[in-house]
Amino acid sequence: MVPEELFSLALGLVPPWLVEHVTFSVEEKRLDLNINFPKGSRFACPVCGEGCPVHDTRDHTWRHMDFFQHEAYLHARVPRVKCPEHGVHQIPVPWAREGSHFTLLFEALIMTLVREMPVLTVARLVGETDTLLWRVIDHYVHEARTRVDMAHVHAVGVDETSSRRGHDFITLFVDLNARRLLFATPGKDAKTFEKFSADLQ
């Protein structure tokens, strides 16, 4: 088995996606994986799921998990399909969210690290800006919070706590029965209740 096939397997790629070309540079300390699909491949229309021909493609690069001490990048031309019924649509790729600079695995690594240390520290550790990391965090936090069901909350506890050595305050709203955090917001005045009320609804 050639390295390209091994990397296709390791990334969990399914046809028509495949790793076409691997470049490994010791000097630049990086690994580049070029993903492609054979000519004439068809992809599912994101609206109806029907297999459609490729209309055009756009080149994308994603940062992937480091390969030992080497930074790894995925490159692919992402197709837009032309569905006879729904027109031209960009298709989602299985290894990354639309619009992200990182693969899903790299995002999972970020989300695991930021649970344990400040975002700026993680940014320095992985060699990315904290702005890019915050974008990832905001996405997953927002997604997780839309799934939070507060319908069975009966008793709420509220407390303020200081952050940044006592200069700033945040207010925490906690489900007293389930012992979980429902909402947190900067400040310690009545406005925090207005914000919690808005969030609750």
* Interface with Zn ion: number of residues (CB under 5 A): 6
Give the gyration radius of the chain's Cα atoms. Answer: 22
Q: For residues 20 and 50, which CB has a smaller minimum distance to Zn ion in the complex?
A: 50
Does 88 interact with Zn ion (rule: CB under 5 A)? Answer: no
Applying the rule CB under 5 A, the residues between 10 and 49 that interact with Zn ion are 45, 47-48
Applying the rule CB under 5 A, the residues between 128 and 187 that interact with Zn ion are none
Is residue 42 a contact partner of residue 50, using CB atoms and an 8 Å limit? Answer: no
Instruction: Compute the least distance from the CB of residue 47 to Zn ion, in Å.
Output: 4
Instruction: Compute the least distance from the CB of residue 84 to Zn ion, in Å.
Output: 7
What is the x/- site pattern for Zn ion, positions 67-86, by CB under 5 A?
----------------x-xx
Cβ contacts of residue 159 below 8 Å, gap of 6+? 171, 172, 174
Q: For residues 45 and 123, which CB has a smaller minimum distance to Zn ion in the complex?
A: 45
Is residue 13 a contact partner of residue 94, using CB atoms and an 8 Å limit? Answer: yes
Which residue carries 């070309």 as its tokens? 21
What CA dihedral angle connects 190, 194, 199 and 201, to 10 degrees?
Answer: 140
Stretch (H or E) spanning 147: none
Give contact residues for Zn ion (rule: CB under 5 A). Answer: 45, 47-48, 83, 85-86
